[in-house]
Structures are given as structure tokens and as C-alpha cells.
Amino acid sequence: MKRSLLAAAIVLWATLALALAPSERLADPAQEARARELSAELRCLVCQNQSIDDSDADLAKDLRRLVRERIVAGDSNAEVKEFLVRRFGEFVLLKPSFSIRNALLWLLPLVVLMFGFVASRRLFARRTSGAGPAGAAPLTDAEQAEIDRLTNPHS
């Protein structure tokens, strides 16, 4: 069991380590740290649910190189992100910003959740209010007596 977990951990580490080739690294450790931080925030457009830092796709490699070129050119982190968003759209960000254009994307899950909460409250409130099914007549004394007799056989 321990060997299989160790093997899985080694394979995972190796695939992550291979994502960034040594030739891609910047000589300045501060710039390399910025590049890694930015790469972790940018989506691989091929893999879609991986950052370009974790992906081994050719496009991710190109994007990592582009990020490093922009950093070496003197761009700030915000300028690098803005450049990539202008070029590839906001989809390139793993955490897109809240804006009017994507408000529906951010708010729709909340609206659906609230609608579901209100609908379930109404449904359960109707069931627990003691009212029978809609349009049902109340029980007669004979029906109620029969129910009492069936539910309390010892009385």
C-alpha cells in the first residue's frame, strides 16, 4: 500500500516537474517567482482546467514563454494579465474578474440557489401546515373514529 502511494506521488511530482522545462526558467529568481505566480493564475487554453504552470501542452509552453518575455520587458503582473486577456479573452484567467459582461455567469448560481430555497420552503410549509391536499374535504366523525380505531388497536 505504501509503495503504491509512493509510486503515485512520484509520478505526480514528475509530471508536474516536466511541465516547466529548465530552459524556460529566468536567471533572476525574483522574476522567475513572479512568472511562476502568474503562470499559476492563467488557464491552459487546451487543457482548460489546468494552469499553464501545470500543463505540458505546447500552447501552455508558449504562454509561459510569453509571460516570461513580458516580465523581462518590464511589465507588471497586472500588465501581463491585461495583455493576455486582450489577446485571448478573459477565459485565460483561472479566476475571472467580476464585470457587467460576466455578471450573469457569477450571479446565476446564486439566483438558482435562492429560487430552490424559496420553492422548497413553500413546499414544506404547505405540507407541515396541517392542510391536506388541495381540494380535499375534511374527515367526517365516522372516518376519524375508524382511523383512531386502526391506529390504536388497544383502546
Q: Where are the domains of the chain?
A: 2-92, 99-130
Spell out the SS3 assignment of 95-116. CCCCCCCCHHHHHHHHHHHHHH
Give the best-scoring range by mean pLDDT among 5-9, 26-30, 77-81, 133-137: 77-81
pLDDT at position 30 is 84
Q: Which residues contact 38 (CB under 8 A, 6 or more apart)?
A: 67, 71, 77, 80, 81
Q: How far is CA 51 from the centre of its chain?
A: 14
User: Are the beta carbons of 71 and 33 closer than 8 angstroms?
Assistant: no
117: cell is 430555497
Domain 2-92 has what CATH class? mainly alpha
CB 70 within 8 A of CB 63: no
Q: Residue 104: which pLDDT band, with cuts at 50, 70 and 90?
A: confident
pLDDT tens digits, 12-22: 555 544 455 55
Backbone φ and ψ of 38, nearest 5°: -65, -40
Residues 6+ apart with CB under 8 A from 106: 98
Contact 53, 39 (CB under 8 A): yes
- pLDDT category of residue 54 using cuts at 50, 70 and 90: confident
Confidence of residue 9 (pLDDT cuts 50, 70, 90): low
